[in-house]
Amino acid sequence: MLNAAIKTSLDDLNPCLLDAVAYRKEVDFKTGRVWTWFQSFLARKQIPNATNLTLSYGLCQSALLGIVVERFNQVAKPKAQKYNISFNDRGYGPKVTFTSPVWYDAKSKASKKLQSCSDEKATIVEVFVEITNKFHSPPVPLTTMELEKFAAKYFKMTPKQTMDTAEDLYTQRFISYPRTETDGFSMNTKELRSIVSKQTKHEKWGSYASDLLDSNKGLWRDPRACKHTDHSHPPIHPIKFSNRKESGWKDHQCVLYELIVRHFLACLSEDALVQKTTVEVDLAGQQFFAMTMTLYKLGYRKMYHYESLFLGFSKFPPYTAGGELTPMDLIVKGSTYSSPQNLSDEDLLSRMQQERIGTDSTWHLLINTVIGRKYVERKFDGNTWRYEPTKLGLALFNGYDQMKLPLWKPEMRAKMEKQITMIKNGTATKKDCLRDTG
């Protein structure tokens, strides 16, 4: 029976998929072998005592290096100054700052406009109040990419540390398989509630899990619909209960398990709601705005404490349309549009996903590879770990650039992925794509 099943499976193999796999292997092998040999050969001729030096090339790792170098070069660009006007209202006690949405590229232009506003009363045009869940909707179910980004952002863990820890939790059956691109559950409500029920005894989030299951509380919401699926594994979620005393886990295991549980509970919870108040005033024919947000309903934020709430410092005074204000502290403010910082773990992972470099199984390995080959290094800036190229990485990048060859550009990898898709779909042949690749 087993032999028959194997024979049937082999008979049913899709030739287009086989060709797609063969095409990927051939392109990766040929480009990697040729360019590794070529750049290693050139380097050995130029560097004394470097007869054993190997400078590896690969489409993914070189695209990753290119992303890091591009951002590194942007960091060095000069900063540009913009200017606008603001004033304070102190008539009701707490200071409220109103700001013009108009920006000026020269301070003299902003100062000239400020003079026309001096000694004028401001008229309240509109007070707009809305209850909104914007920026405060529960998260989507957890994918590998999001797990790696959250762990980097909240716990300063590298993608490899995150996946090593997640694999360990998985082999102990505390969480589901941690390599997935699926962001929606196919489980029904009964199955999801069964998973939640296993968390009701936890000292930190157990009471929230119990409230979630209580229909009288009205906290339960079905998770958001799936937008992406790998057709293999569900989103990452807890399988069984554990606490630190029972498991004997280390800190990194505890915080990652807690993140996975809290994220899962948040996916099944109601929105957090805020009251957003926007006041528009007219001062000498120019619009000024002040805005604040106050908490209306805590919702899933009661237990999902990782994100900030984007709230204002205080409620506004009782402004009404048609009323007048006496502007105080009318000033020109300069805002520095600073150049971006070097890529953080979260930034780099997002770019890799955007450029289709790697998969949920290889993102952390690719990053580790370019670091291991001394092309990129990870540095702590006092707050966040960030990536920048080494001298060797910069030299390779500049060499590719001077040869006018797009060897570092993500588009090369993206083109290959597009051709693989065409081969799988039968709209192109392996032979045609190899000819096009050159």
CATH number at residue 106: 2.70.20.10
Q: Tell me, yes or no, whether 403 lies in a domain.
A: yes
Together in a domain, 376 and 408? yes
pLDDT confidence tier of residue 428, bands split at 50, 70 and 90: confident
Average pLDDT for 334-354:
84
177 is catalytic: yes
Q: From CA 88, how far away is CA 104, in angstroms rounded?
A: 20
Whether residues 402 and 377 share a domain: the answer is: yes
Q: In this model, does residue 307 exceed pLDDT 60?
A: yes
Instruction: Give the domain-ending residue among 307, 337, 367.
Output: 337
**pLDDT(194) > 70:** yes
Residue 414 lies inside a defined structural domain of this protein = yes
Q: Is residue 395 part of a domain?
A: yes
> Is 380 domain-assigned?
yes
- Which of the two residues, 181 and 413, has the higher pLDDT score? 181
In 3-state terms, the chain is what percent helix, strand and coil (to 5)? 45, 20, 40
262 and 410 both lie in a single domain:
no
Final residue of a domain: which of 222, 249, 267? 267
pLDDT in tens, 45-78: 777 777 778 888 888 888 899 999 999 998 877 6
Comparing 37-41, 185-189, 380-384, the range with the smallest average pLDDT is 37-41
Share of the chain above pLDDT 70, in %: 92
Q: Are 257 and 169 in contact (CB under 8 A)?
A: yes
Question: How sure is the predictor about 334, in pLDDT bands with cuts at 50, 70 and 90?
Answer: confident
Residue, of 433 and 246, whose pLDDT is higher: 433
Q: What contacts 87, CB < 8 A, 6 or more positions away?
A: 97, 98, 117, 122, 283, 288, 327, 328, 329, 330, 331
Q: Is position 235 within any domain?
A: yes
Q: Among candidates 176, 306, 303, 174, which has minimal Cα distance to 248? A: 174
> Is 191 in the same domain as 260?
yes
Quick one: tokens of 293? 């947000």
In a domain, 4, yes or no: no
28 and 69 share one domain: yes
In sequence order, what E strands does 239-345 have?
A: 273-283, 286-297, 324-325, 328-337, 343-344
353 and 422 inside one domain: yes
Q: Is the CB of residue 140 less than 8 Å from the CB of residue 184?
A: yes
* Total count of residues recorded for the chain: 438
- Residue 178 shares a structural domain with residue 204: yes
Q: Give the pTM.
A: 0.78
Q: How many domains does the chain have?
A: 3
The band of 400, judged by pLDDT with boundaries at 50, 70 and 90, is confident
Tens digit of pLDDT for each residue in 204-241?
999 999 999 999 999 999 998 877 877 789 999 999 99
88 and 50 in a common domain: no
- Report how far residue 357's alpha carbon sits from residue 413's, in angstroms, rounded to the nearest whole number: 7
Domain with 68 in it: 16-74+342-437
Tokens of 202: 């936890």
Active-site hit among 177, 208, 337, 400: 177
Residues 164, 202, single domain; the answer is yes
Burial class (CB in 10 A: 0-12, 13-18, 19+), 76: exposed
- Return phi, psi of residue 144, to 5°: -60, -45
Q: Is the dihedral of CA 370, 364, 225, 202 positive or negative?
A: negative
Comparing 314 with 163, the larger pLDDT belongs to 163
Looking at the structure, do residues 402 and 315 belong to the same domain, yes or no? no
Q: How much is the average pLDDT of 37-46? A: 82
Element housing 123 (H / E): strand 122-132
Q: Please indicate, yes or no, if residue 2 is contained in any of the structural domains.
A: no
Confidence of residue 6 (pLDDT cuts 50, 70, 90): low
Q: Is 9 among the domain residues? A: no
CATH number of the domain residue 355 falls in: 1.10.460.10
Looking up residue 197, the CATH number of its domain turns out to be 1.10.290.10
Of 222, 243, 267, the position where a domain reaches its end is 267
Residue 295's alpha-carbon distances to 218, 219, 305, in angstroms, are 19, 17, 14
Q: Looking at the structure, tell me whether residues 324 and 425 fall in a common domain.
A: no
Q: Is the pLDDT of residue 343 over 70?
A: yes
91 and 68, same domain (yes or no): no
